[in-house]
Structure 1
Amino acid sequence: MAGNYDDRDGMIWLDGDLVPWRDANVHILTHALHYASSVFEGERAYNGRIFKSREHSKRLRTSAQMIDFEIPWTVDEIEAAKAQVLASSGLRDAYVRAVAWRGAGPDMGVASARNPVRMAVAAWEWGAYYGDAKMRGAKLDLAKWRRPDPATAPSQAKAAGLYMICTMSKHAAEAKGCSDAMMLDYRGYVAEATGANIFFVKDGEVHTPKPDCFLNGITRQTVLGLLEARGIKVHERHIEPSELEDFQQCWLTGTAAEVTPVGQIGDYTFEVGELTRSISEEYEQLVRA
């Protein structure tokens, strides 16, 4: 599938029905467009099956509740919608996007309790998120924006508004020839990349930031399980930026990123080592099992 995302063939599930891709539109006064009252999930299908699909559907509903609205479709109904979209697309390997938002209605200020909640699901072909970085390691910038205090924003919601600083950070990184940016949290500890969690390796042990102010990703949790099964010691903790000098390997995890090695963050370099490669390969085998 090629072309702009608003001009493609195919079908999108919208509010209970499959509609032609180009007709899946919303009004300009949709509340989410103005006030970011929107949540979403990014998922991948492998061999016709969405990996951990139900976990994603549950998180979509939970994210909505965290930003004060209720999705009027159950987990089972969301699962059925995704299955419909995937079947209609004819794709076996695909990226699947489920999104729910406050639509246009009688409210057009900050408050929007009377506006209807809408939902859509789309699927398309999408290759490696970081291109050839899976082989040579991604290059990351150091973002100037920080993940906010959880008392400021609902950090465990996969909410559209939380990605504004991610977009700005990624744009700045790409302008410097980088694939992405590593963000710190509001305290100055290492947090994550703009759309992926981060892991480091030192002397055969793994260190990863404690997700107390950013999303504890489903892929992150999956990789932690793989490491535990191997008996590899994992330290979930606060990591100072100065510690990057002592780490030997680094990788990112996320539905889009999958498991992607990192070769450089700012002035710090990392090898694409055996543990990084083997975890990436094991994850690939797991999602296609």
Structure 2
Amino acid sequence: MAGGYDDRDGKIWLDGTLVPWRDAKVHILTHAMHYASSVFEGERAYGGKIFKSVAHSERLKRSAELIDFQVPWTVEQIEEAKYATMKANGLSDAYVRAIAWRGAGEDMGVASARNPVRLAVAAWEWGAYYGDAKMKGAKLDISKWKRPSPETIPCHAKAAGLYMICTMSKHAAEAKGCSDAMMFDYRGYVAEATGANIFFVKDGEVHTPLPDCFLNGLTRQTVVQMLKEKGITVHERHIMPEELEGFEQCWLTGTAAEVTPVGQIGDYTFEVGALARDISDSYEKLVRA
């Protein structure tokens, strides 16, 4: 599939109906466009099976509740929509995007309780998120933006509005020749990348930031469990910036990123070592099992 994301062949599931890709449109006064009242999921399918599909559908509904609306479809209906979309597009290995949002309606101010909630599912072929970084390690910038306090945002929702500073951070990183950016949180602790969680290795043990002000990714949870099953000690804790110098390996996790080794963050360098390669390989085997 090639071309802009608005100009492709195929089908998109929109409010219960599979429509031609180019016809999946919303009105310019859609509330989500003006006030970011939308939530979404990114999922990958391997061999016709979406990895942790139900967990993603459950999180979509939970994210909506966290930003004060209800998705008027059940988890089962969302599941049916995702697989119908893949089938309609002839896809077995795919990236699947489900998104729910407040549409255009009677309200066009900050409040939008009378506007309908809409749901769409799209799917397309998508390769490695960071290109060849799985072999040589991704290069990360350090963002000037910080993940906000839970008192200021619903930080555990996968909500579109929370990604604004991520987009800005990634654009700044790409302008410097980097693949992505690592972000600190509002207290100055290491947090995550713009769309992926982060892990470090030191002396054979793994350290990963405590997700108390950012999304505890499903891939992150999977990798933590995999490491523990391998008998590797995992420390979920607050990590100070000065600790970066002492870590030997690093990797990112996320549905799009899968498990991607990191070779550099700012001035800090990391080995694409045995544990990073092992967990990346083990993850690939798990999702394709």
The reply to whether TM is greater than 0.5 is yes
Alignment partners' CA distance in 1, 2:57 and 2:25:
22
Q: Give the structure 1 partner of residue 127 of structure 2.
A: 127
Alignment partners' CA distance in 1, 2:235 and 2:259:
18
Q: Give the structure 2 partner of residue 270 of structure 1.
A: 270
Alignment partners' CA distance in 2, 1:242 and 1:34:
40
Single out whichever of 15-24 and 84-93 deviates more from structure 2.
84-93
Q: Give the structure 1 partner of residue 82 of structure 2.
A: 82
**2:20 partner letter:** P
Q: Equivalent residues in 2 for 1:88-237 (5 A)? A: 88-237=88-237
Tell me how many residue pairs correspond in the alignment: 289
Q: Give the structure 2 partner of residue 244 of structure 1.
A: 244
Alignment partners' CA distance in 2, 1:15 and 1:131:
34
Check if 1:7 corresponds to 2:4: no
How far does residue 98 in structure 1 lie from its aligned partner after superposition? 0.1
Q: Give the structure 2 partner of residue 58 of structure 1.
A: 58
RMSD: 0.3
Q: Which runs of 5+ in 2 are unaligned?
A: none
Q: Equivalent residues in 2 for 1:29-44 (5 A)? A: 29-44=29-44
How far does residue 89 in structure 1 lie from its aligned partner after superposition? 1.0
Q: Deviations over 1:79-127 (max 9, x none)?
A: 0000100111111110000000000000000000000000000000100
**2:231 partner letter:** G
Q: Deviations over 1:29-62 (max 9, x none)?
A: 0000000000000000001110000000000000
How far does residue 242 in structure 1 lie from its aligned partner after superposition? 0.7
**2:245 partner letter:** E
Q: TM-score, normalised by structure 1?
A: 1.00
Alignment partners' CA distance in 2, 1:148 and 1:92:
38
Alignment partners' CA distance in 1, 2:242 and 2:45:
38
Give 4+ residue runs of structure 1 displaced > 3 Å after superposition.
Answer: none
Check if 1:22 corresponds to 2:22: yes
Q: Deviations over 1:187-230 (max 9, x none)?
A: 00000000000000000000000000000000000000100101
How far does residue 281 in structure 1 lie from its aligned partner after superposition? 0.1
Q: TM-score, normalised by structure 2?
A: 1.00
Alignment partners' CA distance in 2, 1:75 and 1:93:
22
Q: Secondary structure at the match of 1:104?
A: coil
Percent identity, please. Answer: 80
Alignment partners' CA distance in 1, 2:60 and 2:188:
29
How far does residue 267 in structure 1 lie from its aligned partner after superposition? 0.1
